[in-house]
Structure 1
Amino acid sequence: MNATLVAVVLSLFSAVAYAAAAVAQERLASGDSEAGMARLLATGAWWWTVVLNAGAALLHVVALKYGPLTVVQPLGALTLVAAVPLGARVAGRRVDGAEWRGTALTLLGLAAVLVAASGPAPDKVLSVPEALAVAGTTAVVIGVLARRGARPGLRHASASGFASGVASALTQTVTVAATDRSGPLLSAQVIGVALLVAVFAAGGLLLSQTAYRGGLGAPLAVVTLSNPVAAAAIGLALLGERLRGGAGGILLALAGAGLASWGVVLLTRVRPAVALAAPDDDHPVAAVLALEARSASSEPALMPRQPGRRSEPGHLTPL
């Protein structure tokens, strides 16, 4: 079987597992936004998300053995695509038109990137100095993004994406070096880089958990976009990976990346209506609250009436 096809199939299953873990993490984080990491670590459900992430990571590792970073990492956007129906299912609602459009654009863009980036199985790895330089630079970037300040969710999501992308690049080095029969299985290079992988993978997981406290859509999209950016930069700059087709291939890859990014942005802009249980007819208060909630989710936001401005009966001024 073609190596690139194997990498694509494994990446697909990995994305579904990552999406399931992200949906579960978001529900745990939003269920108690004041809960700290210590409390989450004591929750059995959170450890199930760790198991899902570990399974997804294992599939991802094998995919990196068969496909270059410029192919495998962009397919990480499938995580957001898979999270849309999974999140809708868990919330008890339907996937709306905007979500389907975002999904279609993301898939179309990924297809274009895949055509341009398809290449042979990787055979070059990062040297120890290169791995240390990448790790040090990434640690500085993560430290800047993880500082206290405004909009910590998106900054933590960016840091999580960079950490995961670098972890993937380092993982590919470990995988290729460990399976190289010309050298020892557990060389100093393999062991050292594997430790860096563990640190960045764990950091990415914890940063994503804190990012999801403000919701799933935008943080997951930022993780989805920043991850392949970091990994592809390493692949192109240090691992000798190239896009096929010369200038035409570069244009195709850029167009595909633009479409996929647009699709991801559309997915983050969707504000799904809250799924409501059927009101109890014997409980009028529940029925009224359900009706008001449905009205709030379907009506545009309202501006307060300006002083001195007449408003006709029944007329509402939308934003």
Structure 2
Amino acid sequence: MTVLAAGLALLGSLFFAVGAALQQFEAASTARATLKRLFRRPRWLLGGLAIGIGTVLHIVALKYGPLTVVQPMGVASLLFALPCAAALQRRRPRSGELAAAAVIAIGLIGLVLVVPEHSGDPSLSTGEAVALLTGAAAVALVLWGAAQSAPPAVRAGLLAMGAGVLYGATATLTRVLVDGDWEVWFLLAVPMPALIALALLQRAYAVGHFGVAFAALQVADPLTAVAFGALLLGEPLPTGTASTLTALVAAALTAAGTVALARTSPMSPTHDAITR
């Protein structure tokens, strides 16, 4: 069953990567990447369908395998996404891009593996849920503001990071809805951060640095979920010298890989044509 779970998670990562590459290609080729305009583009919708299939496969994988096996497989989407995006842009992926993405993937896997599993039922009070949504919105707003005057690669990363924070908040609420005790209004609240995150992510994709944006998303989403899980759901964080050192080394690798990817990831040719 563990092998099956790993295979499903890996296949889900491939679908997620293809979907993200398709959506970025369409966002970068649109003068203003608003959701209203993107919803009219069939290829963007196809990308959304692929992401949906990937998400379902990941959820099914979690049913058959432990989190410590399934979550690292999700990081493979970063390695799949760069060749997919390069193919859409009719170019070869650069060796520097793939090397930086591999470093980020190793760092994220290390971080996931040192987070202990939590066996209790998660729960959120109304006040905690409000704090979750308010905190995520505030961080995303700060990142959005900082992105406005930043260079293109940094702007793509900051916008995608804001989307990742909101997706992490959405994942935390979803975990409570699936496994724990919740209030009725939680069900209505879940779509709001997800939709804002989707809009922010398309703005990040439209900048043109797909590798940077996708890497920032892959970093911010799980780390935000882990942080909210620890602060609000009582989920454990790594303890002990070995786990702490591993987490620090993994975080350093992730940060270094993201910086390297920002330097090597090219602008989208389609985006270049629009902005001239």
Judge same fold: TM > 0.5, yes or no.
yes
Q: Percent identity, please.
A: 31
Q: 2:126, 2:183 within 8 Å by CA — same for their partners in 1?
A: no
**Structure 1 equivalent of residue 148 of structure 2:** 149
Residue 45 of structure 1 pairs with residue 43 of structure 2: yes
Q: 1:20, 1:52 within 8 Å by CA — same for their partners in 2?
A: yes
Number of residue pairs matched? 262
Q: Output one character per residue of 1:257-307: Cα deviation in whole Å (capped at 9) or x when no partner.
A: 2223322333332245989xxxxxxxxxxxxxxxxxxxxxxxxxxxxxxxx
SS at match of 1:241: coil
Residue 234 of structure 1, CA deviation:
0.9
SS at match of 1:161: helix
Q: 1:63 to 1:199 in 2, by over 3 A?
A: farther
Residue 81 of structure 1, CA deviation:
2.0
Taking only aligned residues, the RMSD between alpha carbons, in angstroms, comes to: 3.2
Q: How does 1:1-319 map to 2 (within 5 A)?
A: 1=1, 10-34=8-32, 36-62=34-60, 77-119=75-117, 123-147=121-145, 149-151=148-150, 153-177=156-180, 189=182, 191-215=184-208, 216-243=210-237, 246-272=240-266
Give me the whole-angstrom Cα distance separating, in 1, the residues matched to 2:135 and 2:69: 23
Q: 1:265 to 1:64 in 2, by over 3 A?
A: farther
Residue 243 of structure 1, CA deviation:
4.1
Q: 1:258 to 1:67 in 2, by over 3 A?
A: farther
Give me the whole-angstrom Cα distance separating, in 2, the residues matched to 1:101 and 1:206: 29
SS at match of 1:194: helix
Give me the whole-angstrom Cα distance separating, in 2, the residues matched to 1:34 and 1:255: 39
Residue 103 of structure 1, CA deviation:
3.4
Which runs of 5 or more residues in structure 2 are unaligned? 270-276
Q: 2:33, 2:206 within 8 Å by CA — same for their partners in 1?
A: no
Residue 61 of structure 1, CA deviation:
4.3
Which runs of 5 or more residues in structure 1 are unaligned? 178-186, 276-319
Q: Output one character per residue of 1:146-177: Cα deviation in whole Å (capped at 9) or x when no partner.
A: 45832354442222111111111111111113
Q: 1:123 to 1:7 in 2, by over 3 A?
A: farther
Q: 1:250 to 1:223 in 2, by over 3 A?
A: same
Which range moved further: 42-51 or 150-159?
Answer: 150-159
Q: Output one character per residue of 1:115-173: Cα deviation in whole Å (capped at 9) or x when no partner.
A: 32252556323333322220122223333444583235444222211111111111111
Residue 256 of structure 1, CA deviation:
1.6
Give me the whole-angstrom Cα distance separating, in 2, the residues matched to 1:155 and 1:273: 16
**Structure 1 equivalent of residue 272 of structure 2:** none
Q: 1:125, 1:173 within 8 Å by CA — same for their partners in 2?
A: yes
Give me the whole-angstrom Cα distance separating, in 1, the residues matched to 2:254 and 2:215: 11
Give me the whole-angstrom Cα distance separating, in 2, the residues matched to 1:137 and 1:71: 30
SS at match of 1:93: coil
Which structure dedicates a bigger proportion of its chain to helix? Answer: 2
Residue 226 of structure 1, CA deviation:
1.7
Q: Give the letter aligned to residue 209 of structure 1.
A: Q
